[in-house]
Chains A and B, each alone.
Chain A
Amino acid sequence: MYRYMLLARRTDERSWILNRQGKAAFVISCQGQEAAQVGAAYNLRPGHDYVYPYYRDHGIVMTLGMTPRDELLALLGRREDPNSGGRQMPGHFSSRELNIVTASAPIGVQYPQAAGTALAFKMRGEDGVVLACGGEASTSGGDWHEAMNLAGIHDLPVVFMIENNVYAISVPEKFQVAGSIAGRAEGYGFPGVAVDGNDVLAVYEAAREAVARARRGEGPTLIEARTYRMTAHSSDDDDRRYREREEIEAWRLKDPITRFEKYLLEHGVLDEFQRDELDEEVKAEVKEASAYAENAPFADPDEGFAGVYAEV
């Protein structure tokens, strides 16, 4: 889990460098949310279970099997981008092999789709589970309610994980969320769990129970993972307009990666030599991926207008 968190962080950091160099038009970051993402995704069976990630879920898709190379090909919009062949902005994940369902930008649309995918598992009596994720802002829309309701009515094998990172671009949680997100699950008749989203082991435990519950046919779970978005919303956003630097610094002290690293060192799971070795290995992988992606070709212009309709 530590490795995936580090992989997501280093790839993310590389993305910002490519942006500053004028090579990447747009970056949307996962920094600060790696624990929630990796902890949840670690419980899934890639290619068997389905995932509806949201645009910040780099940690989820990398845990499931996407690589820094995949991420940076998408960032730079190259033909080999496995998500969309350079058609979509970065962060709109898709992989048929990994059952990561193609995403779009409007917020919350994935939840009814996730409920439908879970319904198909239930109809066929299979033990597949669906993980659907979004930020706290995605609970403001009707689609979220509609999906929670259907999942509750039919005990669907779906886990809704809300990564509450406090901001929807500039609008803070207090102007988006009435009451408690986790508490809302009760109204739909299934468990809602609030968990420290910066504690990877806590999220792993919560998701493990939720996934097991879904697999047993006992129905959905809502997990609210409280965390923090440490970067601006995107490379086009200046977060100095709406939040104090002190607030970010306070959250940096709770960085989920340094926290987990400290835990692993203290418990003798990892020593400093292994840590440095792992970091070098991850950095080298990201560096190689960046070089590869920068040299990868774009799709031919005509390809951008083909494949609108599927053929029989």
Chain B
Amino acid sequence: MATKSLLQAIHDGLAEEMRADETVMVMGEDVGRAGGVFRVTQGLQEEFGEARVFDTPLAESLIVGSAIGLSVNGMRPVAEIQFADFIPPAFDQIVNEAALFYYRSNGAYNAPITIRAPYGVVPGGALFHSQSVEAYFCNTPGLKVVAPTFPADAKGALKSAIRDPNPVLFLEHKKSYRLLKGEVPDEDYAVPLDRARVHREGTDLTVISYGLMLNDVSRAAEKISVEHGIETEVVEPISLYPLDKETILRSAKKTGKTLVVSEANLEGSVSGEISALVAEHAFEWLDGPVRRIGGPNSPAAPFAKPLTDAFVPSAEKVEAAMLDLARY
């Protein structure tokens, strides 16, 4: 196994799927010769040509809408929205069109498209290159929303997303692209979209997290284990919609204490849904209140560095909340 960045893993996943299936194509603004603004699609146009690595006009509704039409006519498009913040013009094509094709046609049409979108706070990104948009989409039956954190999972989940007969919104935390590295298997493998991953077993509390915050959670879990003997079970949903309720509830019941951590705006968030799930179905196993950490109710994220830093929950805040809940 080779150690790869999240970015490299996603790139490799795309390339491998394109080699394996000639109907797989990538499309979006700048994905071709430029290789994407983050270089995720670097080299793909050279290998697969201009038609299968298709530079679109800058029009998000068109990018998703035409991807739907391509999928109807036998292709498996992977459409890139350059930043998740720019996805609202495509919202209708995602939630009213792609997500409902199968249901509304009584199973006659499906829309097997993957929509990749980099999300999350990045230094200098400011209000329109920093947003976590997942909550907008996690209330849409027919759509799958996945947000894997680490390279190996991201590659495997991307393969599953491309092979899935349903539309999948595939969120990539952009600050993680080069920051998070990990071993990625060389052989072909797929990570199922309907299973949460338990990264660390524990008995004292459960922390459910995704995105770059999961990295902080994992570090804090090791630290408080060494320093305080507190064992944290770390669970990553991978699929944010639908959720793997079984794995989440099993862990919540096992430890009796649940903390949910992400950098999304807290109110109306996926963290809220996970909390409600635990409160509703694991109440009698709980030894403490379900708690959440997330972004403030302000747009993500202000430009100036101290303001950006204040938006994202700090590693210290996460660790303190874990300790506090464990001792509750």
From B59, B104, B165, residue with most partner A Cβ within 10 Å: B104
A95-118 Cβ-contact flags toward B at 8 Å (1 or 0): 110000110101001011111111
**Which residues of A are in contact with B by a Cβ distance under 8 Å?**
50, 81, 83-85, 87-88, 92, 94-96, 101-102, 104, 106, 109, 111-121, 123-124, 128, 130, 142-143, 146-147, 149-150, 153, 307-312
Residues of B within 8 A of A81 (CB): 106
Beta-carbon contacts under 8 Å, B34-71 to A: 51-52, 54, 56-57, 59, 61-62, 64-71
A-B contact list, 16 entries, CB within 8 Å? A83-B106, A84-B104, A94-B109, A106-B92, A113-B66, A113-B68, A115-B69, A116-B66, A116-B69, A116-B73, A117-B72, A120-B74, A120-B75, A307-B102, A308-B141, A310-B110
A115 to B77, CA, bound (A): 14
CB of A105, distance to nearest CB on chain B (Å): 8
Residues of B within 8 A of A84 (CB): 104-106
Decide yes or no whether B175 CB sits under 8 A from chain A: no
Query: Interface size for chain B: under 10, 10 to 19, 20 to 34, or 35 or more residues?
Result: 35 or more
Please tell me which one of the listed residues A83, A96, A116, A118 contacts residue B67 in the complex, with CB atoms under 8 A apart. Answer: A116
Decide yes or no whether B89 CB sits under 8 A from chain A: yes
Decide yes or no whether B142 CB sits under 8 A from chain A: yes
A16 to B220, CA, bound (A): 68
Residues of B within 8 A of A95 (CB): 108
B70 with A310: CB separation less than 8 A: no
- Decide yes or no: A309 and B61 within 8 Å by CB, A50-B72, A109-B97 being known contacts: no
Decide yes or no whether B83 CB sits under 8 A from chain A: no
B163 with A312: CB separation less than 8 A: yes
CB of A223, distance to nearest CB on chain B (Å): 19
Residues of A within 8 A of B71 (CB): 116
A101 to B73, CA, bound (A): 10
CB of B174, distance to nearest CB on chain A (Å): 25
Residues of B within 8 A of A310 (CB): 102, 107, 110, 112, 165-166
B72 with A311: CB separation less than 8 A: no
A310 to B143, CA, bound (A): 10
Decide yes or no whether B136 CB sits under 8 A from chain A: no
Decide yes or no whether B93 CB sits under 8 A from chain A: yes
Residue in chain B with minimal CB distance to A158: B69
A149 to B141, CA, bound (A): 31
B96 with A102: CB separation less than 8 A: no
B70 with A112: CB separation less than 8 A: no
A146 with B59: CB separation less than 8 A: yes
B61 with A83: CB separation less than 8 A: no
CB of B302, distance to nearest CB on chain A (Å): 30
A96 to B110, CA, bound (A): 10
Residue in chain B with minimal CB distance to A156: B66
Please tell me which one of the listed residues A104, A128, A150 contacts residue B66 in the complex, with CB atoms under 8 A apart. Answer: A150
Residues of B within 8 A of A146 (CB): 57, 59, 61-62, 65
Residues of B within 8 A of A308 (CB): 102-103, 141-142
9 pairs of A and B residues whose beta carbons are closest in the complex = A116-B69, A112-B65, A116-B66, A85-B106, A120-B73, A146-B62, A113-B69, A102-B105, A310-B165
B107 with A112: CB separation less than 8 A: no
A147 to B74, CA, bound (A): 19
B73 with A121: CB separation less than 8 A: yes
Supplied contacts A116-B68, A118-B69, A130-B69, 16 more A-B pairs, CB within 8 Å: A87-B103, A96-B105, A96-B108, A102-B109, A109-B65, A115-B66, A116-B67, A116-B73, A117-B69, A119-B66, A120-B70, A147-B62, A147-B66, A150-B56, A309-B102, A310-B165
Decide yes or no whether B100 CB sits under 8 A from chain A: yes
A312 to B108, CA, bound (A): 14
Residue in chain A with minimal CB distance to B109: A102
Decide yes or no whether B319 CB sits under 8 A from chain A: no
